[in-house]
Structure formats: C-alpha cells, structure tokens
C-alpha cells in the first residue's frame, strides 16, 4: 500500500526539483525522491569524512603510507 506525503516548499525549490528529476531521466518527482533517499544510505557524513581525514593524516605522519604508482599497486 502506498501513502501520500505532502511537502510545503517554495515555488523555486519545487521547480528546481521537477527540473532535476526530468534532467536525470525520472518519470516523476516521486521516483527522484525515492532514488535520493536510497543513495543517502551510501553517503558518509561530514563528521565521518573529517574523522577519516584526521586518521589518514596521522597514518601519514607515522609513516604508515605506501607510495603507489597506480591503484593496481593497492590490490
């Protein structure tokens, strides 16, 4: 069963969403919003990114890095 969710957005935002949905090949705004929610699960937060960057910096300072000529060197 489906449920309807109503959002109150400024007209400019509504037009932007419709334009983006169409330009990305979605048949509807609903499909586009469902897609955005799905990919949101794969994203990391700014805090997580900052934590990873700090850890990488510490590893670099401690000499725990390798010099790779390509990504294949990492496999």
**In angstroms, rounded to a whole number, what is the distance separating the alpha carbons of residues 74 and 14?**
45
Assess contact for 59 and 69: CB atoms under 8 A.
Answer: no
**In angstroms, rounded to a whole number, what is the distance separating the alpha carbons of residues 16 and 22?**
10
pTM: predicted TM-score of the whole model, two decimal places: 0.59
Instruction: State the average pLDDT over residues 8-33.
Output: 96
| pLDDT above 70: percentage of residues in the chain | 100
- pLDDT beyond 90 at 27: yes
Q: How far is CA 10 from CA 16, 26, 31, 35, in A?
A: 10, 21, 20, 22
CA 64, 42, 14 angle in degrees (round to 5)? 135
- pLDDT beyond 90 at 73: no
Q: What does the chain come to in residues?
A: 75
């Amino acid at each position: 069963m489906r449920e309807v969710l109503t959002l109150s957005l400024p007209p400019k935002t509504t037009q932007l969403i419709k334009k983006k949905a169409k330009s990305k090949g979605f048949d509807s705004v609903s499909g586009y919003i469902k897609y955005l929610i799905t990919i949101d699960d794969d994203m990391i937060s700014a805090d997580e990114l900052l934590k990873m960057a700090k850890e990488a910096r510490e590893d670099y300072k401690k000499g725990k890095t390798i010099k790779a000529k390509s990504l294949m060197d990492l496999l």
